[in-house]
Structure 1
């Protein structure tokens, strides 16, 4: 019983140290490392079954302690198994995201090749127009706003320059005849 327990405990610690190799292994060898760890965990489970049988055959004075140690090993191995599953799920999710990303990068998109259903428009006359014509009002609004902002910027620059050149004239215009600032 003691020899098998120490051997199984040693295997658990080896699996724990091999779990670190999962993070550092490359894509090609990660499957080999996973399979190796899974094989070791399966071997540990078979040893634990044997340990359970042997712990029940221990003398009554040692039986409780032996069963407790076997249960602790089972608990540790279950955590190793769940850690391996978690790593595999994360790896599969990363691989799936990478595949989806590659598919999106390889896909070619055609601009404005889509015709919208007429019921989606608020105005019936817009239903006959293609989608590309819908951007025309937006473009016109953008040009109008940008030209207005350009005019405002020009006025600001001219105001600043005129104030630097003729500061008294601006103050005279800003005040009324009684000397108060408007």
Structure 2
């Protein structure tokens, strides 16, 4: 199990390095994205295998092994989210570049009656389109943040249960356990505050656009 764990952890570091290379000029982003996706698939497969192997380790070290596997899952989940966001941004940039190129290469036939109407309605429609696009991006980002927070919450709950079990085994003091529970409560309030602020910003943007 240790060999598979170290191999998977090494692959995660390689994925992080691939993300850093995406910022280099002249890089083939499509090829790098495919490489990242392949490595993420391999990590997920290894995590599934590790879930099976963790139950074969001695009971005394099983909790620690399970925490390591959960950390790998947590890391790869964030990498998947980062890849999805990068692909969305790249697709938007490509679409904007295509539209700009089409506009610059479009040829108009001479016509004495042709006029360009840039009235208030057209400008308002353009502004509304841009505002809707911005709100969609905020909602998408907020959804990814919510998924990440939910995953972290589940991780913390699982960690709390394991810590209580380990604490009972190792004889942790009641004071230490109370500190852990207080930290979990504080994290919950931080998550709720973040959700409230995000909803307020989205509501304000929609109100200003309308």
Same fold by TM-score, threshold 0.5 exceeded? yes
Provide the secondary structure at the position in 1 that maps to 2:114: coil
Tell me whether 1:26 sits opposite 2:26 in the alignment: yes
Q: CA RMSD in A?
A: 2.1
Deviation at 1:18, TM superposition (A): 1.2
User: Per the alignment, do residues 111 and 75 of structure 1 end up closer, same or farther by CA in structure 2, a change over 3 Å counting?
Assistant: farther
Unpaired runs of 5+ in structure 2?
A: 118-210
Unpaired runs of 5+ in structure 1?
A: 117-182
Tell me whether 1:7 sits opposite 2:3 in the alignment: no
Deviation at 1:53, TM superposition (A): 0.5
User: Per the alignment, do residues 47 and 96 of structure 1 end up closer, same or farther by CA in structure 2, a change over 3 Å counting?
Assistant: same
Tell me whether 1:68 sits opposite 2:55 in the alignment: no
TM-score (ref. length: structure 1)? 0.58
What is the rounded CA distance, in whole Å, between the counterparts of 2:116 and 2:3 in structure 1?
A: 76
Match of 1:51 in 2: 50
Deviation at 1:26, TM superposition (A): 2.8
What is the rounded CA distance, in whole Å, between the counterparts of 1:95 and 1:115 in structure 2?
A: 27
User: Per the alignment, do residues 91 and 49 of structure 1 end up closer, same or farther by CA in structure 2, a change over 3 Å counting?
Assistant: same
Deviation at 1:112, TM superposition (A): 4.6
Match of 2:184 in 1: none
Provide the secondary structure at the position in 2 that maps to 1:23: coil
Name the count of aligned residue pairs.
115
TM-score (ref. length: structure 2)? 0.51
Runs ≥4 residues deviating over 6 A: none
What is the rounded CA distance, in whole Å, between the counterparts of 1:38 and 1:67 in structure 2?
A: 25
Q: Deviations over 1:28-66 (max 9, x none)?
A: x21111111111111111111111110122222211111
What is the rounded CA distance, in whole Å, between the counterparts of 1:115 and 1:85 in structure 2?
A: 39
Answer with 1 or 2: which has the greater Rg.
1
Point out the structure with the larger helix share.
2
Which has the bigger relative contact order, CA under 8 A and spacing at least 6?
A: 2
What is the rounded CA distance, in whole Å, between the counterparts of 2:98 and 2:112 in structure 1?
A: 24
